[in-house]
Structure 1
Amino acid sequence: MKPILNIFDEPLLYTEGLSKLLIQNKIFSSIEIFNSCESLYENIKVHPPEFVMISSNIMMLTEIYQCIENIIAENKKIKIIVIGSSYDVTVIRKLFNKGIKSYLDKNSSYDEFVRSVNALSADEIYICEYAKQMMINFISNEQEKPNPNIKDPLTRREMEILKLICDGYSSKDISEKLFISINTVETHRKRILMKLNVKNSVGVVKYALENNIIN
């Protein structure tokens, strides 16, 4: 069964158009648009969706933080996508710390939104091109510098895979991009998880953000 999406945004033409396009392309089974916190929270209690998309058009940043906290408190399984307004890495880091699974920018394309949904459906996270480039550039500049927070430093290949994980790539995508087997990618992933002392890809990105590996 296709998942359900709740959109928290103003009922603008583009919002309604996005909803129709997603339904036509059979991305979601149903989509509902809300423009008040109360109506969104009430619907989540009665009919919890798999996805919630929050737009920066409708709230201040502090209100977005609070909205995320309220949604997570009600249902931790809901995957939250935030559409930001050219936020810097500090803000994006805080959004992920609050519990979102995907960050897209207001200029992100429809295809990128679909990639985001696919990544979240596979229990991965997704970061848009705007935010990704800032993070990857920082990693590239820091590759040669030892990180005191990691007792067993990442190898050059592990740093390369770490960048691709932050880029939202799956193990299959990484294997194709680096011309190595999926088993080799999985081995590197396990070593990265072990060295960073995290459980999954979400933890990898959070660790990188919190420890200024990408900042």
Structure 2
Amino acid sequence: MKPNLAILDEPLLYTEGLSKLLIQDKIFSSVDVFNTCEDLYNHVRDNSPQFLMISSNILLLSDLYKCLETIISQDSKVRIIVIGNSYDVIVIRKLFNKGIKSYLDKNSNYDEFIKSVHALSLNEIYICEHAKKMMINFISSEQEKQSPNIKEPLTRRELEILRLICDGHSSKDIGEKLFISINTVETHRKRILMKLNVKNSVGVVKYAMENNIFS
């Protein structure tokens, strides 16, 4: 059975169009659209959705925090996706601490939204590529300061490869850009993940949040 979705956003023309598209693509069984926090709270209380998308367009940041706290207090299991307004990594981290499961930027496309839904369906978190790159840059700067959270800092070459990996480049592409062999790239990749004790680039982001690297 397909999950249901609630959306807090405006204008109606956009949200209603998106809801029809999601139903048409058979992503959700139903989509309910709200334009005020009060209406959303009532909906969550009476018929809590499995997924909730909140846009920052109609909320100040302080109001967004309050909205998240209220929703989580009503139903801690709801999977919340926030569409941010080019927030910095400190704000993004706070949003995750408030209980969201996915962060997308206002420039994220429909495909990234669908990726985030699939990730949340697997009980994973999802962060858009733009925000992920910002977080990697924070990791890089902290490593240059010899952060005590990282026992063995990444080398400059490893940081360079890490950025390219998070930009979506394959090992072949990275090798061509840096004029090194694919085997060398793979060796660096393994050392990066080993040093951070993660399995992939999503793990890098989770590592950053869990260890307060950008706090």
TM-score range, shorter chain: 0.7 to 0.9
Contact 1:154 1:192 in 2 (8 A): no
Contact 2:143 2:153 in 1 (8 A): no
Distance 2:208 2:196 in 1: 14
Paired residues in the alignment total: 189
Give 1:153 shift: 4.1
Distance 2:53 2:195 in 1: 29
| Long gaps (5+) in structure 1 | 170-177, 194-199
Question: What letter is aligned with 1:29?
Answer: S
Structure 2 counterpart of 1:41: 41
For residues 141-160 of structure 1, what are the alpha-carbon distances to aligned partners after superposition, in whole Å with 9 as ceiling and x for unaligned? Answer: 4456532135x44778xx88
Distance 2:153 2:124 in 1: 21
5 Å-filtered alignment, 1:85-164, equals 85-143=85-143, 146-150=146-150, 152-153=151-152
Question: What letter is aligned with 2:26?
Answer: K
Distance 1:100 1:33 in 2: 19
Tell me the TM-score normalized by structure 2. 0.73
Structure 1 counterpart of 2:23: 23
Structure 1 190/93 Cα, relative in aligned 2: closer, same or farther at 3 Å? closer
Question: What letter is aligned with 2:136?
Answer: I
For residues 64-105 of structure 1, what are the alpha-carbon distances to aligned partners after superposition, in whole Å with 9 as ceiling and x for unaligned? Answer: 000000111111110111111111112111111111111111
Structure 1 position 211 matched with structure 2 position 213: yes
Question: What letter is aligned with 2:87?
Answer: Y
Structure 1 202/136 Cα, relative in aligned 2: closer, same or farther at 3 Å? closer
**What is the DSSP-based 3-state SS (H/G/I as helix, E as strand, rest coil) of the residue aligned with 2:7?**
strand
Distance 1:140 1:31 in 2: 40
Alignment root-mean-square deviation, CA: 3.3
| Long gaps (5+) in structure 2 | 169-181
Question: What letter is aligned with 1:102?
Answer: S
Identity between Structure 1 and Structure 2 (%): 57
